[in-house]
Amino acid sequence: MNKPLRRVAIFCGLLVLALLVRINWVQFVQADELKNDPNNRRVAIERYGTPRGDIIVDGKPVTGSTVTGSGDFKYKRTYTNGKMWAPVTGYASQAFDANQLEKLNDSILTGTDDKLFFSRTVDMLTGGKQEGGNVVTTLSTKAQKAAFEGLGDKKGAVAAINPETGAILALASAPSYDPSTFAGMSDKDSKAYNALLKQNNPDDPTLNRALRQTYPPGSTFKVVTASAALENGLYTDIDAKTRSPLPWTLPDTAGQPLNNEGDLPCENASLREALRVSCNSVFGKISADLGNKTMKAEAEKFGFNNAKVDTPVRASESVYPEDNRPQNAMAGIGQASNRATPLQMAMVTAAIANGGKLMQPYMVDKLVAPNLNVVQQHTPKEMSKPLSPENAQKIQDMMETVVEKGTGTTAQIDGVKVGGKTGTAQHGANNKDNPYAWFISYAKTGKGTPVAVAVVIEGSDTLRGDIAGGKLSAPIAKSVMEAVLSDKK
């Protein structure tokens, strides 16, 4: 070969090599980047080119797919009882992407997940169409319905957990929305979506209040303060007198007393009696006696200050603050900068009901292929041990007294042992707004403790005392517990 031809051959070889390098770079290095590029319409067309897999509750789908009849996207999402299930499913929209379970499990639902490789291979060999897998949840239809209907037109949320496993049984938020109304691409869908945005709707119906909204937990937090007192040996006998003068002055203040809600028998009250009537002075002093570091540590064992509570939808972080002495005393009764999601307070209740063991909350039981083969199964996991079994039993005894003859009598269920705690949390500057009404509870039978519930109502026109939680939130918690118990029969 003469010299010019050799140079041409080498040059052509380099061009081929460069082409091969570029092709491999695009296919293997830039593949994910190109796939996730918002301008890559082919991915979206493929995503909505086949029916989406379903989200399953109690063996039945609460989602579906329907043919659009126009445009590039052949199918769009549908929802059964969309408003009731939106806090669980989230939405999947051709125009506005997806969130919550729909987003987190998108690859399973669209059939593109590597876990479905065998199923996709069979479809390719047999000429079958690619199908999406299903997401099987831990939710209870009866419990969710009780929670959703109990909230009604009130703004608030409900979270219910199986204390023994951590399985989420109900997750309701009000006001809610129907994801079907903006599942497509039309102007009507855009109008429906924009009407739900917070800047256009102050009620913010797309906010998942059960997971993503934090509130001052009010007197429901006193069970955590009582737990800290027992775990750290400040008190050991729940029926013995405490060292609680009345009035009791907040530390480092110019004689500012921590008042109780009314003329309550709180002077040196036992832990049981103090929880029964909800003594601010007793629990505020306990928090002050233990100190901020100890209180914060106990709250963290229950899940506070954990930014990664995934259900798998991530919950907002509940916060027990690092604070000064008077603020720490207020945080010990669920006020000041103490903030909690309804899920967090359900976790607190579940840990107490489960003998002091807190299980990781979860709402996806398993992922299944289109042929119904299980490709991923959840295994319950212990998250922490905030209490010894002995001290957990003591807190249970106290909470059961609250329901038997305290502020939580409206949660009583015939033939079932119920423990609970009411709470009314101050709201607004100088407590000018209607308070948040809380109730936490669990139901215990001879076969175990299948449910723990937390309910919060954002506003009420009832009395400002702890009894507001008993009037507004306890009946909702009762109906959810009854629904779960009926499922266990």
Catalytic residues: 219
Amino acid at 360: Q
Phi, psi (deg, nearest 5) at residue 444: -125, 130
Residues in the chain: 489
The CA-atom distances, in angstroms, between 364 and each of 62, 73, 101, 136, 361 are: 14, 28, 9, 6, 10
Q: CA-to-CA distance for 346 and 147, rounded, in angstroms? A: 14
